[in-house]
Amino acid sequence: QLKQRTKPRLANMENGEVPENANENCPGPRSESAGKSDACQGCPNQEVCATTPKGPDPDLVVIAERMASVKHKMLVLSGKGGVGKSTFSAQLSFALGAMDFQVGLLDILIFVARAFQRCLA
Protein backbone atom coordinates (compact mmCIF):
# COMPACT_ATOMS: atom_id res chain seq x y z
CA GLN A 1 0.00 0.00 0.00
CA LEU A 2 1.12 3.52 -0.75
CA LYS A 3 1.31 6.23 1.84
CA GLN A 4 -0.77 9.38 1.29
CA ARG A 5 1.93 11.67 -0.14
CA THR A 6 2.73 11.13 -3.79
CA LYS A 7 5.69 13.48 -4.30
CA PRO A 8 9.05 11.77 -3.58
CA ARG A 9 11.59 13.63 -1.47
CA LEU A 10 14.70 12.92 -3.53
CA ALA A 11 17.13 14.70 -1.19
CA ASN A 12 16.06 12.44 1.67
CA MET A 13 16.25 9.37 -0.56
CA GLU A 14 19.90 10.14 -1.29
CA ASN A 15 20.50 10.25 2.47
CA GLY A 16 19.00 6.78 2.82
CA GLU A 17 15.63 7.78 4.25
CA VAL A 18 12.53 5.92 3.15
CA PRO A 19 10.39 8.21 0.94
CA GLU A 20 7.09 9.32 2.45
CA ASN A 21 5.13 7.89 -0.48
CA ALA A 22 6.91 4.52 -0.48
CA ASN A 23 5.20 1.16 -0.27
CA GLU A 24 4.53 -0.14 3.22
CA ASN A 25 7.42 -2.65 3.37
CA CYS A 26 9.97 -0.46 1.56
CA PRO A 27 13.53 -1.78 2.09
CA GLY A 28 14.92 1.78 1.80
CA PRO A 29 16.86 3.40 -1.04
CA ARG A 30 20.30 2.35 0.33
CA SER A 31 19.35 -1.33 0.54
CA GLU A 32 20.89 -3.67 -2.04
CA SER A 33 17.33 -4.75 -2.89
CA ALA A 34 16.08 -1.17 -3.33
CA GLY A 35 13.81 -0.93 -6.34
CA LYS A 36 14.18 -4.65 -7.01
CA SER A 37 12.35 -6.47 -4.21
CA ASP A 38 8.72 -7.61 -4.34
CA ALA A 39 7.85 -4.81 -1.90
CA CYS A 40 8.96 -2.28 -4.53
CA GLN A 41 6.47 -3.40 -7.19
CA GLY A 42 4.16 -0.52 -8.09
CA CYS A 43 6.02 2.04 -5.96
CA PRO A 44 6.37 5.46 -7.66
CA ASN A 45 9.99 5.60 -6.46
CA GLN A 46 11.04 2.19 -7.79
CA GLU A 47 13.30 3.48 -10.58
CA VAL A 48 14.87 6.18 -8.41
CA CYS A 49 15.59 3.71 -5.60
CA ALA A 50 17.07 1.17 -8.01
CA THR A 51 19.54 3.76 -9.34
CA THR A 52 20.41 5.52 -6.05
CA PRO A 53 24.11 4.93 -5.20
CA LYS A 54 24.61 2.38 -2.43
CA GLY A 55 27.18 2.35 0.34
CA PRO A 56 29.37 5.14 1.69
CA ASP A 57 30.52 7.99 -0.53
CA PRO A 58 33.94 7.00 -1.97
CA ASP A 59 35.15 10.61 -1.57
CA LEU A 60 34.85 10.43 2.24
CA VAL A 61 38.29 8.84 2.58
CA VAL A 62 39.95 11.55 0.48
CA ILE A 63 38.13 14.31 2.35
CA ALA A 64 39.11 12.84 5.74
CA GLU A 65 42.77 12.62 4.67
CA ARG A 66 42.85 16.22 3.49
CA MET A 67 41.04 17.55 6.56
CA ALA A 68 43.32 15.64 8.97
CA SER A 69 45.95 18.39 8.75
CA VAL A 70 43.44 21.10 9.68
CA LYS A 71 43.78 21.55 13.43
CA HIS A 72 40.61 23.56 14.12
CA LYS A 73 37.38 23.45 12.15
CA MET A 74 34.24 25.55 12.71
CA LEU A 75 30.77 24.95 11.35
CA VAL A 76 28.25 27.77 11.11
CA LEU A 77 24.74 26.59 10.30
CA SER A 78 21.10 27.35 10.76
CA GLY A 79 17.89 25.69 9.67
CA LYS A 80 16.71 28.99 8.22
CA GLY A 81 18.02 31.13 5.40
CA GLY A 82 18.78 34.81 5.62
CA VAL A 83 20.04 34.87 9.20
CA GLY A 84 23.58 36.02 8.42
CA LYS A 85 25.58 32.78 8.32
CA SER A 86 27.71 33.94 5.38
CA THR A 87 28.22 37.42 6.82
CA PHE A 88 29.20 36.02 10.22
CA SER A 89 31.56 33.47 8.63
CA ALA A 90 33.26 36.12 6.50
CA GLN A 91 33.68 38.53 9.42
CA LEU A 92 34.98 35.77 11.70
CA SER A 93 37.51 34.83 9.01
CA PHE A 94 38.66 38.44 8.66
CA ALA A 95 39.03 38.77 12.45
CA LEU A 96 41.00 35.54 12.82
CA GLY A 97 43.19 36.49 9.86
CA ALA A 98 43.89 39.87 11.47
CA MET A 99 45.13 37.95 14.52
CA ASP A 100 47.67 36.15 12.26
CA PHE A 101 45.79 32.85 12.13
CA GLN A 102 45.83 30.96 8.85
CA VAL A 103 42.21 30.85 7.75
CA GLY A 104 40.44 28.91 5.05
CA LEU A 105 36.75 29.56 4.47
CA LEU A 106 34.36 27.27 2.66
CA ASP A 107 30.85 28.64 2.29
CA ILE A 108 28.37 26.21 0.79
CA LEU A 109 25.05 27.61 -0.27
CA ILE A 110 22.84 24.97 -1.77
CA PHE A 111 20.28 27.16 -3.54
CA VAL A 112 21.57 30.77 -3.52
CA ALA A 113 25.25 31.39 -4.22
CA ARG A 114 25.17 35.20 -4.26
CA ALA A 115 25.09 35.92 -0.51
CA PHE A 116 28.77 35.15 0.06
CA GLN A 117 29.90 37.26 -2.90
CA ARG A 118 28.17 40.31 -1.39
CA CYS A 119 29.97 39.76 1.94
CA LEU A 120 33.43 39.92 0.39
CA ALA A 121 32.79 42.52 -2.33
Q: Which residue has the higher pLDDT, 42 or 87?
A: 87
Name the average pLDDT for the chain.
79
> For residue 117, what pLDDT is reported?
56
Is residue 82 scored above 80 in pLDDT?
yes
> For residue 109, what pLDDT is reported?
67
Task: Classify 2 as helix, strand or coil.
Answer: strand
Angle subtended at Cα 72 by Cα 114 and Cα 66, rounded to the nearest 5 degrees: 80
For 10-41, the DSSP string reads: HHHHHTTPPPTTSBTT---TTSTTTTTSGGGT
Q: What is the distance between the alpha carbons of residues 85 and 117, in angstroms, rounded to a whole number?
A: 13
Is residue 16 scored above 50 in pLDDT?
yes
pLDDT digits (tens, 9 = 90+) for 83-106: 999 999 999 999 999 999 999 999
